[in-house]
Chain A
Amino acid sequence: MAKSSEKRLLSEDQAVELIALFLSSARLLISEPPAYGPLRLLTATERLSAMILDDASPTTKKLLQVCIDRIPHTYTLANEVKEYAAAMDELCDALGQCLVDRAKLQGGS
């Protein structure tokens, strides 16, 4: 359950759109190339980022913008494991920063 102090970022239509993507992918991936699994997760991430961008907090917005900007290029690397991993590490770095900022963690070097 979302904390009551947090506002809703998704409409019902948007939630159904994501469910459609998850369920369709879960069915299709049984017979698709292994590299398509990460692609479908990236598609979902990109779409969700676009859906909530306008109403998100500035901290989250930074992460969402990175996802929207970088994911289309990352798709093209699906067949090149090293480049794909490097591109994903950059996205995950932005994710880590967002989590730290949101949790207001202090200290460390």
Chain B
Amino acid sequence: MSNPVLENIRTRRVIREMTDEPVDPHHLEQILEAARWSPTGGNQRPNRFVVIDDPELQRLIRLVAPGMFQHAPILILICVDFAIFHHQLDPEDDPLYPIDVGKAAQTMALAAHSLGLSTGPVTSFNKAAVKKILNLPEQVIPCLFLCVGHKAPQTQFAMRGAQRIRWQDLCYRNRYETWDR
């Protein structure tokens, strides 16, 4: 891979050990602005972003987030405001919002990586408890925390995959024909 965008995509890793060095507020704003440019299904823009920099709130969130190994200086919670879907029968029937959340998360992760910051997504958290801790309105559903900070120098805890995967292992042509054939 040769251009800086592709290189950025390839070199971003999920980081679970961070230092307590603060995140430059200007960088944080650039990451949030990047999320604003992330596309959404039907251009409905249901994502809401809550930045949590209060250490006590972060502590409480970690208590109910078994999947959060990071002690990150900044947490960005991506929520979905279900009030946006008021004209639809049930957004769960054909849900586009998880795709919107995923696109925003990856957009922010790549933006952060390009600024020399590290990120880790966390969805293993207790939604009901987080709603209470962060005083979220009833119709606002917490979906994904993006931990943002600086990578710690020590070895990172990363789940080893069962096997190494090449892109060709995941891709098919036309009528589900394997790529390597």
Contact = CB atoms under 8 A, between A and B. Distances in A.
A76 B124 contact: no
B62 to A, nearest CB: 9
B63 A28 contact: no
Nearest to A21: B66
Given A36-B124, A79-B162, A80-B162, A24 B66 contact: yes
Contacts of B126: 20, 23-24, 27-28
Interface in B27-85: 63-67
B157 A76 contact: yes
Contact of A24 (B129, B157, B158, B160): B129
Residue in B66, B124, B160 whose Cβ sees the most chain A Cβ within 10 Å: B66
Contacts of A36: 124
B161 interface: yes
A37 to B, nearest CB: 11
B170 interface: no
Size range of the chain B interface in the assembly? 10 to 19
Q: Is the interface of B mostly helix, strand, loop or mixed?
A: loop
A40 interface: yes
A32 B160 contact: no
Interface in A35-91: 36, 40, 43, 72, 75-80
A21 B124 contact: no
B159 A21 contact: no
Contacts of A17: 63
A20 B61 CA distance: 10
B157 A79 contact: no
A24 B161 contact: no
B160 A43 contact: no
A23 B64 CA distance: 8
Contacts of A23: 126
Interface in B145-173: 157-162
Interface in A15-36: 16-17, 20-21, 23-25, 27-28, 32, 36
Contacts of A21: 63, 66
Interface of B: 63-67, 124-126, 128-129, 157-162
